[in-house]
Amino acid sequence: MSAMNEAHSPRTTLCHYTTDAVYYGDADLVRDLLGQASFIDVFMKQTFGRTPSAGERRIVDAVLVTLMEHGMTPSAIATRMIYASSPENLQAGVAAGLLAVASRFVGTMEPAAQLLGRIAASADAGAEAARIAQDYRARREAVPGFGHHLHKPDDPRAIALLALAREVGTYGPYCEALAHLASAVDSAADRHITINATGAIAALLGDIGIPVALMRGFAVLSRAAGLISHIAEEQRDPSGRFIWDLVDTAMTDARSAD
């Protein structure tokens, strides 16, 4: 018997239809969800199979609000430029911006969470944190979740997020691991290094049981809303041509100077 025959048939439990109803899992969309369940509750149930507690709901909401807007970053610029080129396709601009949610911008909670998980699982959290900090220092690489070009000495978003975790009772092993890592990073650098927002988000999501491999999904979900806002502003006050001319002029002048 082939491996394909041995495997069970593909299936989904996320959604099914009847002639007079739509179901999300076992919930009737019209009778059980519309006007009764929040977007966050439905998203968490669909994705992770559980309804969040009141404290977890506040954490998820805070994470989504934090990640929604980052100003004129590469994702926002990409969205505006693609929308300027294809204004009939709002979704194309959003999709272009979402492609920049990666290991350098917005999506850095994944590598940070991997490190925090190592520390949380270690028999000696302080020693493991020190090994990680020293390793990154030796390689002259920034530790994921640390450092910011603007927010110094601390990122106000990280401070607020960690305070919220304490307030709602979700502060746990990942947040504790972040504290160990922050101390180790400061010691290795011989100066204070900022815990940035995605470092705090990695800790908060880890402590409410979000798998590392799905953490970036929160950034994608939130950033999509932020990019729609950029398109709305682009519709009111277009900047695409200005961005194009600015880059074209600067790079052409640089070539002429050479």
Model confidence pLDDT, tens digit, residues 18-29: 999 999 999 999
One domain, residues 28 and 112: no
In this structure, are residues 201 and 161 in contact, taking their beta carbons and an 8 Å threshold? yes
Structural domain of 120? 53-258
The whole-number pLDDT of residue 171 equals 98
One domain, residues 147 and 234: yes
Which residue positions in the chain have pLDDT lower than 50? Answer: 1
The whole-number pLDDT of residue 55 equals 97
Per DSSP, the three-state class of 80 is: helix
One domain, residues 30 and 1: yes
Pair of tokens at residue 134: 């020293």
One domain, residues 61 and 85: yes
The whole-number pLDDT of residue 42 equals 97
pTM for this prediction: 0.90
Please indicate, yes or no, if residue 217 is contained in any of the structural domains. yes
Radius of gyration, alpha carbons of the chain: 22
Q: Spell out the residues 6+ positions from residue 109 whose beta carbon is closer than 8 angstroms to its own.
A: 145, 198, 199, 201, 202, 205, 215, 216, 218, 219
Q: Can you give the CATH number for the domain in which 100 is found? A: 1.10.230.10
Total structural domains within the chain: 2
